[in-house]
Structure 1
Amino acid sequence: MDKIPMTVRGEKMLREELDILMKRRPLISQAIAEARELGDLKENAEYHAAREEQGICEAQIRDIEYKLSMAQVIDVTKMQNAGKVIFGSTVTLIDIDTDEEVTYQIVGDDEADIKAGRISVNSPIARGLIGKMQDDEVSITTPGGKREFEISDVAYL
């Protein structure tokens, strides 16, 4: 099976989310027990809601545990690639047509958040940047069409 690339920050976030879910587990079990005491389970909305919540919680726990077991945590701060765009690096781009500057960190799928400047390693922009060097000009085909960028800075934060 393929490993799931993840930054140190991404692994920490998943472990924190898993910890929260594990703390909810006994509370949900308690809610189920209390709902059972109310009587007839066929028409007991509290019981059915608690069971549904339990199912969702357990599915989320399994999903996170799987991702963590398959994670390949990459600490970019320990890598020295002298201006090369790699997974985890933070890249500052200048749009050649508009002179607009944007900065993205290339992260795993679960960590991606375009509003926070984190793009998935599987996104068209990241795929077009991986392996390129600082000061390179790149042409990337995005869903909005072809765009030309200059890589003005590559940082390993």
Structure 2
Amino acid sequence: MNQIPMTVDGAEALRTELRRLKHEDRPRIIQAIADAREHGDLKENAEYHAAREQQGFCEGRIQEIEAKLSNAQIIDVKKMPNTGKIVFGVTVTLYNTSTDKEVRYKIVGDDEADIKNNLISVNSPLARAMIGKQADDTAVVTTPSGEVEYEVVAVEYL
């Protein structure tokens, strides 16, 4: 499988979720299954079936996180030389020439992307248009509502 780029923060968030799933959720679900079994007939026991379903989701998520972490290429931009170029993991300030507004995004892996927190996926059209650019460069991004021109204001290796 290909390596998945991930920031240090993204990898730590996955490790934290994995610890919670293994050490809190899994034991709680196992106990819920044991408690539901004590109520007798399992065919009509909604608590038992709900707990078993939760167990399936929990185990599936554990496997998914373990696979992602084993294939993760963790990139720490703070340890990279600041060339001024936009690369995975940088925080970039852009000026939208059509709205006359500045926006600031951090370019992250797919799993870490969260537009509400200004984290955009490296595979998003905006990030793909910006990779390799530097301050004062412009890039045109094709959006559903047409082309948008952005000017790179700043590139920070935070």
What TM-score does the superposition give when structure 1 sets the normalisation length?
0.97
1:45-101 Cα distance to aligned partner (Å, 9 max, x none):
111111011011101111111110110000000111321000000000011223210
Q: Secondary structure at the match of 1:146?
A: strand
Q: Determine the structure 1 residue equivalent to 2:113.
A: 112
Q: How many residues align structurally?
A: 157
Residue 58 of structure 2 is aligned to residue 57 of structure 1: yes
Residue type matched to 1:149 in 2?
Y
Q: Secondary structure at the match of 2:139?
A: strand
Q: Secondary structure at the match of 1:110?
A: helix
Alignment of 1:58-97 (within 5 A): 58-97=59-98
Inter-partner Cα distance in structure 1 for 2:117 and 2:147: 23
Q: Determine the structure 2 residue equivalent to 1:21.
A: 21
> Residues 27, 10 of structure 1: CA spacing in aligned structure 2 closer, same or farther, 3 A cutoff?
same
Kindly state the Cα deviation for residue 151 of structure 1 after the two structures are TM-superposed: 0.2
Q: Which stretches of structure 1, 4 residues or more, deviate above 4 A after TM superposition? A: none
Kindly state the Cα deviation for residue 43 of structure 1 after the two structures are TM-superposed: 0.8
Inter-partner Cα distance in structure 2 for 1:142 and 1:7: 26
1:115-141 Cα distance to aligned partner (Å, 9 max, x none):
111100000000000011111111121
Percent identity over paired residues: 63
Alignment of 1:96-107 (within 5 A): 96-107=97-108
Aligned-CA RMSD value = 0.9
Residue type matched to 2:44 in 1?
E
Inter-partner Cα distance in structure 2 for 1:156 and 1:54: 40
> Residues 45, 98 of structure 1: CA spacing in aligned structure 2 closer, same or farther, 3 A cutoff?
closer
Inter-partner Cα distance in structure 1 for 2:91 and 2:146: 23
Q: Secondary structure at the match of 1:46?
A: helix
User: 5+ residue gaps in structure 2?
Assistant: none
User: 5+ residue gaps in structure 1?
Assistant: none
